[in-house]
Copies of this chain bind each other. A is one copy, B any other.
Amino acid sequence: MRIRVINPNTTASMTTTIGEAASRIAAPGTEIVATTPKSGPVSIESHFDEAISAVGMLEEVMAGEREGADAYIIACFGDPGLLAARELTRAPVIGIAEAAFHMASLISTRFSIVTTLGRTGIIAEHLLDQYGFRHHCRRVRAAEIPVLDLEDDGEAALTRIIEECRRARDEDGIGAIVLGCGGMADLTGEISDAVGLPVAEGVTAAVKLSEALVGLGLGTSKVGDLAFPRPKAFTGRFEHLSHMPPRT
Contact = CB atoms under 8 A, between A and B. Distances in A.
Interface of A: 10, 25, 27, 37-43, 45-52, 54-56, 58, 81, 83-84, 86-88, 92, 94, 98, 102-103, 105-110, 118-123, 126, 129-136, 146, 169, 173-176, 189, 196-198, 200, 204-205, 208-209, 211-213, 215-221, 223-227, 229-230, 232-239, 241
5 contacts: A55-B238, A83-B122, A98-B106, A103-B216, A197-B221
Contacts of A119: 224-225, 227
A130 B126 contact: yes
Given A106-B209, A237-B237, A47 B225 contact: yes
Contacts of A216: 25, 103, 200, 204-205, 208
B221 A107 contact: yes
Q: What copy number does this chain have within its complex? A: 6
A45 B180 CA distance: 31
Contacts of A131: 105, 132
Contact of A132 (B51, B135, B226, B236): B135
B232 A38 contact: no
Given A37-B236, A50-B84, 20 more contacts: A40-B235, A41-B233, A45-B229, A46-B230, A47-B86, A51-B84, A55-B55, A56-B236, A102-B106, A103-B212, A103-B216, A105-B131, A106-B213, A106-B218, A108-B221, A109-B122, A118-B173, A120-B225, A176-B221, A204-B216
A73 B105 CA distance: 16
A226 to B, nearest CB: 6
A106 B98 CA distance: 9
A56 B98 CA distance: 28
B42 A52 contact: no
Contact of A107 (B92, B169, B200, B237): B92
A219 to B, nearest CB: 6
Contact of A232 (B43, B118, B226): B43
A208 B198 contact: no
Contacts of A217: 189
